[in-house]
């Protein structure tokens, strides 16, 4: 039965590829939006969990920062209460680390003319309280300091966004899932409507409902699988592009290791969810039309 239904599905797709294709494109589009949202959401959770964001500071130096200036800044930092590890990252080190973070593209990147990265002094505080506004202001006032970025600020910003995302996220995810179900449902519904005469003939010939229904359910399954692969590829491309862009344009060279893609388990869960949704929506569409036919 399944083999015969699969053959029938292939025939249906061949005859009616434009409807199926538009279904795949629309489903993929919804999935890309959903996938990007979920990825951002997961990354927010990931980022807020990172320890360095708790009480981590990056002092960005400008071109005027001489060795003497850097020494003064380092001494000030060392004297801060509860200061932990202090690390200086030079422009050259930043560039090397960036190149090393790109596995296969290293040779190509070595030949590129990068914009100059600023030197950075990074340090952490071994306490829960952050630097006071006064301490930060004094740090910023040093000659040669371009900016001071605090992990806590970043974390707080992320948390604010995270709270909004939590609120909007559920609504958006439900909305996009409903959209996806409706797209697959409508694609299958149109496909069945276009073959309504054929279905009537099959019913007159004594075909059971499952014989008629299965090819369409499999079509919904195929739409789900192809859309999943397509949208995952698009999301991965966008992810690589954005991460590379961020890394090239700012000094946050380690972002590639911070921002992550879906894990295999998450991809598996998404795949299973999508397959179930595909089967569910095509089953609904097929059932509606077949039951409507009073033959």
Partner 1 sequence: MSIKPLITFRKVKKSFLGKEPLFSDINLEISEGEFIFLTGVSGAGKSTLFRLLLGLEKPDDGSIKFNGSEVTSLVGKEMLQHRRSIGMIFQDYKLLEKRTAEDNIAIPLQIKGISRSVKSAKIKDITHKLKISQILKQQVRSLSGGEQQLIAIARAAVHSPTLILADEPTANLDPRMATRIFDMLTLLNEEGMTVVVATHDINLLKAHKKRILLLKQSALIEVH
CB of 13 to partner 1, least distance (A): 12
Residues 173, 187: Cα–Cα separation, whole Å? 21
Q: Are 293 and 196 in contact (CB under 8 A)?
A: yes
Q: Per CB under 8 A, does 290 bind partner 1?
A: no
The correct pick among 37, 102, 142, 211 for binding partner 1 (CB under 8 A) is 211
Q: Per CB under 8 A, does 210 bind partner 1?
A: no
DSSP string, 93-157: HHHHHHHHHSSTTHHHHHTS-PPPPPPEEEEEESSSS---HHHHHHHHHSTTEEEEEEHHHHHHH
DSSP type of residue 207: -
The correct pick among 26, 59, 202, 259 for binding partner 1 (CB under 8 A) is 202
Q: Per CB under 8 A, does 2 bind partner 1?
A: no
The correct pick among 208, 237, 269, 273 for binding partner 1 (CB under 8 A) is 208
* Those residues with Cβ within 8 angstroms of residue 32's Cβ, 6 or more apart along the chain or in another chain: 231, 234, 235, 238
Rg (CA), the chain: 28
Which among 209, 258, 206, 191 is positioned nearest to 19, based on CA atoms? 191
The correct pick among 164, 207, 229, 242 for binding partner 1 (CB under 8 A) is 207
Q: Per CB under 8 A, does 295 bind partner 1?
A: yes
Q: Per CB under 8 A, does 93 bind partner 1?
A: no
> Which residue, 4 or 90, has its beta carbon nearer to partner 1?
4
Q: Per CB under 8 A, does 205 bind partner 1?
A: yes
Question: x-or-dash pattern for partner 1, window 4-33, by CB under 8 A?
Answer: x------x---x------------------
Q: Kindly determine how many residues on this chain lie close enough to bind partner 1 according to the rule CB under 8 A.
A: 15
Residues 17, 216: Cα–Cα separation, whole Å? 13
Binding site for partner 1 (CB under 8 A): 1, 4, 11, 15, 197-198, 201-202, 204-208, 211, 295
């Amino acid at each position: 039965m399944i083999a015969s239904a699969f053959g029938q599905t292939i025939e249906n797709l061949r005859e009616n590829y434009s409807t199926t294709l538009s279904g795949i494109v629309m489903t993929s589009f919804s999935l890309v939006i959903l996938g990007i949202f979920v990825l951002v959401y997961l990354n927010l959770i990931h980022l807020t969990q990172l320890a360095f964001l708790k009480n981590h500071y990056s002092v960005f130096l400008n071109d005027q920062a001489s060795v003497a200036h850097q020494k003064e800044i380092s001494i000030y930092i060392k004297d801060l209460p509860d200061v932990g590890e202090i690390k200086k990252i030079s422009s050259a080190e930043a560039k090397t680390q960036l190149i090393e973070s790109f596995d296969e593209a290293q040779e190509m990147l070595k030949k590129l003319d990068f914009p100059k990265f600023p030197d950075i002094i990074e340090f952490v505080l071994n306490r829960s309280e952050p630097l006071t506004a006064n301490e930060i202001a004094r740090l910023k006032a040093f000659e040669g300091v371009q900016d001071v970025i605090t992990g806590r600020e970043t974390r707080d910003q992320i948390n604010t966004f995270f709270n909004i995302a939590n609120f909007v996220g559920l609504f958006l995810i439900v909305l996009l899932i409903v959209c996806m179900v409706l797209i697959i449902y409508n694609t299958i519904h149109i496909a069945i409507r276009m073959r309504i005469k054929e279905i009537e003939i099959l019913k007159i010939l004594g075909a059971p409902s499952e014989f008629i229904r299965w090819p369409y359910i499999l079509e919904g399954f195929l739409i789900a699988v192809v859309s999943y692969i397509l949208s995952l590829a698009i999301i991965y491309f966008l992810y690589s592009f954005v991460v590379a862009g961020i890394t090239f344009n700012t000094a946050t060279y380690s972002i590639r290791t911070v921002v992550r893609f879906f894990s295999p388990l998450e991809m598996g869960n998404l795949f299973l969810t999508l397959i179930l949704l595909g089967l569910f929506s095509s089953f609904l569409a097929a059932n509606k039309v077949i039951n409507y036919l009073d033959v």
